[in-house]
Chain A
Amino acid sequence: LPSLITPLPHFLHTGATRVLMFQRTSTGSRVVVASRTYADFTPQATFDIKKCDLHKLEEGPPLQAVLTREEGLQYYRTMQVMRRMELKADQLYKQKIIRGFCHLYDGQEACAVGIESGINRTDHLITAYRAHGYTLTRGGTVREIMAELTGRRGGIAKGKGGSMHMYAKHFYGGNGIVGAQVPLGAGVALACKYQGKNELCVCLYGDGAANQGQIFETYNMAALWKLPCIFICENNKYGMGTSVERAAASTDYYKRGDFIPGLRVDGMDILCVREATKFAAEHCRSGKGPILMELQTYRYHGHSMSDPGISYRTREEIQEVRSKSDPISLLKDRMISNNMASVEELKEIDVEVRKEIEDAAQFATTDPEPPLEDLCNHIFSNEPPMEVRGTNPWAKLKSIS
């Protein structure tokens, strides 16, 4: 080996079959110093997962889940990206670089990543305003998500939407009006059925939204018309500052679809969420109509950045969840203790993730704001250019589709 070796090793995963440990020499070239082969890691393992409470269902999801090393690394990475992205958003908000509403998802990563792993990319998904995580799983990049939060032209909605209005293919936001996304989601499901492509729609809402009248209207129509819709209630125990006990006469959200079968799922265990989602998807695709999943989860942050989140719950409670039920830790522990990944390997992923988030934040803070010429654009689709009245009668602004 050349004489001067810098101390920090890094890893190359060659298709998860062989792990090579490199070090950089003084001349900048890389040298292999060690390697572990496929045979060193367990390629897959079976885990026991919690039984789901069932409503109007004879059977539930399986009680065991198979996790491959590849899947595990991918879930870990995605959840870590999501976690770091939200924490970076917290930082930028406190620096006043992000303004307005900012509802963070940290703590709930297993829900978004678990759901996505249980459906197809060609399926559809809609959620409420705590949407950054879903924007990511549905194909948005960290860069364009962060740049949307900072209101720049490189944002996923060119800076026109902000935190609550991010869209991607087969992802319908990001919706600011509590509960309004639920009928929308059923409408997407109607389109799926109408067009006969065997696609379904995952339609998310929170424990707070669960008391909205329009959701019950939607349950009725979805069941009546057998729409391929998975209703998912992300129960994080608090609707803004109101605990579930103070808001709902029945906190069995998985039963509130009444005639719609339901299941209550441990939303902190990604394997639980994945298996339940697969089960629900199968139910929909077989033409049985809608199904309801309640994911029991937790948000570490307050309702939004303007809510410290400790006036209606204790720091002890938050700390307890972090230490006992953190979704990323749960997955990490499973993988390490089953020799599916090494500590160093996961640390390396953490380093990569941190860099990715830093890069994205750098982009999000340096990208220019949208040009003023864009102010009146995107009013109508497929329309010739038109004039829009500005703030005074002489201000005639241009609008293009």
Chain B
Amino acid sequence: LAMLANLEMSICRVRVTVRDALNQAMDEELERDERVFLLGEEVAQYDGAYKVSRGLWKKYGDKRIIDTPISEMGFAGIAVGAAMAGLRPICEFMTFNFSMQAIDQVINSAAKTYYMSAGLQPVPIVFRGPNGASAGVAAQHSQCFAAWYSHCPGLKVLSPWSAEDAKGLLKSAIRDDNPVVVLENELMYGVAFELSDEAQSKDFVIPIGKAKIERPGNHVTLVAHSRMVGFCLDAAAVLAKEGVECEVINLRTIRPLDTDTIEASIMKTNHLISVEGGWPQFGVGAEICARIMEGPAFNYLDAPAIRVTGVDIPMPYAKILEDNSVPQIKDIIFSVKKTLNM
């Protein structure tokens, strides 16, 4: 018993918010490689619009933490050019809604260049920022861009949920020699998670392209990314009381999609539900379902694979409307029961 107690104490668990995890990731990578730098609106002296880059300017100064004017297309292009010439920029979009101003630079200048140059010109850049629905920010500030960016070859697209995800994925993104889009979530910034020993290490990275099974189960597979992972886990807890065991998969990476993990899960549970915050048409769930149809897991399905998504409307403002525009835990529970014919 004493030995176990000692073990318990030596495993130093800390609780870290997603915001702090992202901050740590950038801090560690800035320290590790002097080619890494951060640019974006308010990232330096304001400590970040959402305080994700708090303290970094004080520590690293003007050269490495750069406040830009409100010129997304311009500064995204500048970031890509800097990456082409040997630096490793982190380009922050205050939200991904504003990335639409710069999307040409992300796709045409960053994503496609290694291919067009037949390997002569790599572009080691990270585009990061909050994505998807927030709270009360209405239609122009609430869009999810997972599907848009994941559509394009040449990009990697990550969508962390937990603090561990945030830290490990952002570090991997910064160390990756290719353009990586990291879709964070503003509502998750303040949420604290336990960071394991391993995750506290300065060399902790999460491999890109590998999903994580957050909760094993036998009856139905729930696949989600970002904030919806938490909703799925909550739904799973409720369903467990009724004897339904959900397997919850946290995608972590949207592109490349970890189809193998999803297929292996379906071969066990025989049921699939994909859950996302974004719109249904041509979304992440649509891609997952298409792949399952085309692959070996199809034969293991006992019911059609379905999607739980945001409502197909621009995001309204009023709280009651907004709440009913994104999947709620009850929607996930309802869909599970329908799928299982309960």
Contacts and interface: CB of A to CB of B under 8 A. Distances in A.
Interface of A: 124, 126, 157-161, 165, 167-168, 172-173, 175-177, 180, 182-192, 194-195, 201, 213-214, 217-218, 220-221, 224-225, 377-383, 386, 388, 393, 401
Contact of A161 (B79, B81, B116, B153): B116
B84 A214 contact: no
B243 interface: no
B82 interface: yes
B323 interface: no
21 contacts: A165-B117, A167-B117, A172-B85, A180-B104, A183-B73, A183-B81, A187-B78, A190-B81, A191-B85, A191-B87, A214-B74, A217-B75, A221-B74, A225-B66, A377-B118, A377-B119, A378-B118, A380-B154, A381-B119, A383-B177, A383-B178
B117 A180 contact: no
A220 B74 contact: yes
Interface of B: 37, 63, 66, 68-69, 71, 73-87, 104-105, 108-109, 113-122, 124, 153-154, 156, 177-178, 256, 294-295
Contacts of A195: 86-87
Contacts of B82: 187-188, 190-191, 194
A269 to B, nearest CB: 30
Given A214-B73, A379-B114, A176 B85 contact: no
B109 A180 contact: yes
A400 to B, nearest CB: 10
Contacts of A379: 114-115, 153-154
Q: Which of A177, A214, A224 has the most CB of B within 10 A?
A: A214
Given A157-B117, A382-B177, A213 B68 contact: no
Contact of A187 (B71, B79, B117, B178): B79
Given A177-B104, A377-B119, A378-B119, 5 more contacts: A157-B116, A160-B115, A180-B109, A191-B87, A381-B178
Contacts of A217: 69, 71, 73-75
Contacts of B295: 393
B277 to A, nearest CB: 25
Q: Which of B118, B121, B122, B124 has the most CB of A within 10 A?
A: B118
A45 B229 CA distance: 76
A380 B84 contact: no
A192 B178 contact: no
B270 to A, nearest CB: 21
Nearest to A159: B118
Contacts of A189: 81
B76 A183 contact: yes
B86 to A, nearest CB: 6
A165 B81 contact: no
